[in-house]
């Protein structure tokens, strides 16, 4: 099969990771992939010189940019894919119009709870959770043009889960330093954890506009010596394998690919009750805290430290779920089936 994958963002978060992983996984399975990205996409190197992938980098403006759809249409006509797959709203708008001009059907993956006025040229929407599917239905999207296919990860599953018996307990989180990720809440929870007598250290990998705010908060709380901030994580697998617990403290998390990565490497997971984690994980395989509650987050971390055997059993259950439902080998056949269904229609 020949597919065109389109993502027009510059940064690198969960949606951008999904774009890269989808292109790589399809190419690995023998499909021919045209990957169209923004010329300033910071991780375009991940798709360069990969067998079965033809990388195209373009300039893309805002929604009133009428040249980008024409550029995309030209690229699609040259490649002649059977289907186009876009990720996020800008790619759905520009890529959808470009594919429409080229006469190729489009599927588009939802990553957020957005209005759907820029998805008018999309044939089928892909929600990553049932909650996102319901969101699309509420906006009047036809039910027969909706599918639920979860995000996946290419990280190989660990042979077995690990019990968090290290001292100091090594805590890991990572993502963009923005308000919705809740890293300020995590810092306050970590302060509570240390005050309770648990010996621990915390790494929050990533960067972003709240970097200085988080640094200042760590100093204000008197925990700066126990916290690593501003660490860029290139090798996610290695970082996870050096940690004992993974924390997802988000205020808003429509899915959370980082959660899958922690599941893959057999780490106990502490997460807030946001949309994605609440639909993927349960009390059987993770620890939960209310959004914005540093006291509950600290309590969950204390529970991990107090009973490592239970934490290990939860991690093992999450690892089994990852193998059967969220590893690329489990998800890609569902995506291929959707492609064929849309093409045949």
What SS3 state is found at 298? helix
pLDDT at 166: 80
Q: In 3-state terms, the chain is what percent helix, strand and coil (to 5)?
A: 45, 20, 35
* Interval 141-160 mean pLDDT: 94
pLDDT at 345 over 90: no
For residue 190, what are the CA distances in angstroms to 178, 244, 292? 18, 14, 13
Least confident of 49-58, 156-165, 335-344: 156-165
Position 48 scores a pLDDT of 96
Q: In whole numbers, what is the pLDDT of the chain averaged over residues? A: 95
Give mean pLDDT, residues 299-327. Answer: 97
2-7 vs 53-58, strand pairing mode = unpaired
d(CA 307, CA 163): 9
- Enumerate the β-bridge partners of residue 245: 171
| Residue 142, number of CB atoms within 10 A of its CB | 11
pLDDT of residue 58: 96
Q: Among residues 180, 179, 250, which one has the least CA distance to residue 210?
A: 179
Q: 262-290: per-residue pLDDT in tens?
A: 999 999 999 999 999 999 999 999 999 99
Q: Over the stretch 220-245, which tens digit does the pLDDT of each residue have?
A: 999 999 999 988 888 999 999 999 99
Consecutive H or E run containing 2: strand 2-7
Separation CA 331–CA 52 (nearest Å): 20
pLDDT at 292: 97
Backbone angles phi, psi at 117, to 5 degrees: -70, -20
What average pLDDT does this structure show over 154-158?
Answer: 94
Q: What percent of the chain has pLDDT over 90?
A: 88
Mean pLDDT of 197-206: 96
pLDDT higher than threshold 90 for residue 291: yes
Nearest to 300 by CA among 268, 330, 340, 278: 268
What integer pLDDT is reported at residue 111 of this predicted model?
83
Tell me which DSSP letter residue 214 carries.
Answer: H
Q: Can you tell me whether residue 237 is helix, strand or coil?
A: helix
Closest CA to 294 of 173, 139, 186: 186
Q: What is the pLDDT of residues 100-148, one digit of tens each?
A: 999 999 999 988 888 898 999 999 999 998 989 999 999 999 999 999 9
pLDDT at 157 (0 to 100): 96
The arithmetic mean of pLDDT across residues 12-37, rounded, is 95
Higher-confidence residue: 300 or 11?
Answer: 300
| Mean per-residue pLDDT, 293-315 | 97
Measured CA angle at 115 (ends 344, 13), to 5 deg = 85
β-pair type (269-272, 287-289): parallel
What stretches of 129-199 adopt beta strand conformation (E)? Answer: 146-148, 169-174
Query: Tell me, what's the pLDDT at 122?
Result: 96
Q: What's the pLDDT tens digit per position in 208-217? A: 999 999 999 9
255 band by pLDDT with thresholds 50, 70 and 90: confident
* Mean pLDDT value of segment 305-323: 97
- Mean pLDDT (whole number) for 17-35: 97
Q: Could you tell me the domains of the chain?
A: 2-152+328-344 (3.40.50.2000), 169-325 (3.40.50.2000)
At residue 34, the pLDDT reads 98
CB 262 within 8 A of CB 240: yes
61 pLDDT exceeds 90? no
Q: Which percentage of the chain shows pLDDT scores above 70?
A: 100
Beta strands in 121-278 (DSSP E): 124-127, 146-148, 169-174, 200-205, 227-231, 245-248, 269-272
Distances from the Cα of 95 to the Cαs of 7, 54, 90, 228, in angstroms? 9, 16, 8, 39
CA 227 to chain centre: 24
Phi, psi of 19, deg, nearest 5: -60, -50
| pLDDT for the residue numbered 64 | 83
């Amino acid at each position: 099969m020949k597919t065109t994958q389109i993502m027009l963002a510059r940064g690198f978060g969960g949606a951008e990771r999904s774009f890269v992983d989808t292109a790589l996984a399809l190419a690995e399975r023998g499909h021919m992939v045209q990957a169209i990205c923004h010329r300033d996409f910071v991780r375009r190197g991940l798709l360069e010189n990969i067998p079965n992938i033809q990388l195209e980098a373009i300039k893309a403006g805002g929604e009133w940019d009428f040249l980008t759809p024409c550029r995309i249409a030209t690229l699609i006509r040259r490649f002649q894919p059977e289907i186009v797959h876009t990720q996020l709203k800008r790619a759905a708008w520009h890529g959808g119009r470009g594919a429409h001009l080229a006469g190729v059907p489009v599927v588009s993956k939802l990553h957020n709870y957005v209005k759907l006025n820029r998805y008018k040229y999309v044939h089928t929407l892909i929600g990553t959770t049932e909650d996102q599917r319901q969101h699309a239905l509420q906006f009047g999207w036809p039910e027969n043009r909706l599918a639920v296919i979860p995000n996946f990860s290419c990280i190989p599953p660990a042979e077995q889960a690990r019990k968090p018996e290290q001292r100091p307990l090594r805590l890991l989180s990572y993502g963009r330093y923005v308000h919705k990720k809740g890293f300020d809440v995590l810092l306050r929870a970590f302060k509570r954890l240390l005050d309770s007598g648990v010996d621990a250290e915390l790494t929050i990998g990533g960067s972003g506009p709240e970097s200085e705010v988080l640094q200042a908060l760590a100093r204000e709380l008197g925990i700066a010596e126990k916290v690593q901030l501003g660490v860029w994580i290139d090798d996610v697998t290695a970082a996870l394998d050096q940690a004992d617990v993974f924390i997802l403290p988000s205020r808003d998390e429509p899915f959370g690919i980082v959660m899958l990565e922690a599941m893959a490497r057999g780490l106990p997971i502490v997460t807030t009750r946001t949309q994605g984690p609440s639909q993927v994980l349960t009390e059987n395989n993770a620890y939960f805290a209310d959004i914005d509650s540093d006291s509950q987050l600290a309590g969950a971390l204390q529970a991990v430290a107090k009973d490592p055997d239970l934490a290990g059993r939860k991690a093992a259950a999450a690892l089994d779920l990852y193998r059967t439902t969220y590893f690329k080998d489990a998800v890609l056949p569902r995506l291929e089936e959707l492609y064929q269904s849309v093409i045949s229609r």
